[in-house]
Amino acid sequence: MTTYAVTGSSGQLGRRIVHALLDLHVSPFDVIALARDTATIDDLAALGVRVRHADYDEPASLEVALEGVDRLVLVSGSEVGKRAEQHRAVITAAQQAGVKRIAYTSLLKADSSSVGLAPEHVETERALADSSIETAVLRNSWYTENYTAQIPGYRERGAIVAAAGDASVSTATRADLADAAAAAITADAVKPVYELAGTTFTFAQLAHTISSVTGTEVTYTSVSVEELAAGMVEGGMDEGTAQFWASIDASIARGDLATDSTDLRDLIGREPTSLEEAVRAEL
């Protein structure tokens, strides 16, 4: 039998990937959930999934955690600035453990993107290419939840304020991306790179959808990147974080987070979650 492991299983995406594997009728005993703190995934252990300690910053823990693993879903770490080094440690341990396939959660169009998160993903993709392990790079689009989670604020203000102009953004729900990761790691054969996105919309369309579903009028207000960052700081956000989020809108305006790829639909074998469905689910 094939043994699967998922890093970052205590996180929102990693946990969903474990469940997606079980939904594909992979035996719980053949799934290993990896987390820095195994106490945070007791619920997965209760399902019969094996849990192991794995810390990106502790190479020795990775070697033990990946023992006997055939295929690994490497969920990108959350510590920006440290991720490339952390991912290399996982890849090295995976080679030593004899892992045969890695599916890595990268960023949409990472190799050409201006998004500030892209360089670490590109470094990881290169490290995977330099390894001897079969790789499926899952270039995940922006989470739909990045916007639907803000619906209460949008409704309170009656507006979505962004600096993307009339540009479109392609997104996907975490659940759909988890299903894609499970499909890629269990498939008989995979492509080297998948550009994964489920729904594409402008911010005006986002405002219209929220208005239609909730009955609360929400409009889109387009501002400059500088105005957006200043507004975030005025609202209590620190300067660095505000500049980061404003830069995301600048990248959206350039088209860096938009794609017409059907890879997500092809992987999961169904239509991805629409924007309206995601909004209704959030409510």
Tokens representing 130 are 């330099």
DSSP state letter for 39? G
Instruction: Give the DSSP H/E element, type plus range, for residue 101.
Output: strand 101-107
pLDDT of residue 235: 87
pLDDT of residue 81: 87
Looking at domain 4-139, its CATH architecture is 3-Layer(aba) Sandwich (3.40)
Q: What is the pTM of this model?
A: 0.96
pLDDT of residue 1: 87
Fold match, 4-139 / 141-173+196-259+269-283 = no
Average pLDDT, the chain: 96
pLDDT of residue 184: 98
Helices (H), 188-224: 203-214
CA torsion sign for 133, 79, 60, 184 is negative
Residue 208: phi and psi, rounded to 5, are: -65, -45
Residue 102's DSSP bridge partners are 72, 135
Which residue ranges make up each domain of the chain?
4-139, 141-173+196-259+269-283
Fold of the domain built from segment(s) 141-173+196-259+269-283: UDP-galactose 4-epimerase; domain 1 (3.90.25)
As a whole-number percent, the residues of the chain with pLDDT over 90 amount to 94
The full length of the chain comes to 283
In this structure, are residues 157 and 215 in contact, taking their beta carbons and an 8 Å threshold? no
Q: Is the pLDDT of residue 117 over 90?
A: yes
**Rounded distance, CA 94 to CA 103, Å?**
12
Q: Closest Cα partner for 199 from 260, 138, 253, 283?
A: 260
Q: Closest Cα partner for 30 from 8, 6, 59, 57?
A: 6
| Cβ burial 13-38 (10 Å sphere, 16+ → b, else e) | bbbbbbbbbbeeebebebbbbbbbeb
* Structure confidence by residue, pLDDT tens digits, 188-244: 999 999 999 999 999 999 999 999 999 999 999 999 999 999 988 888 999 988 898
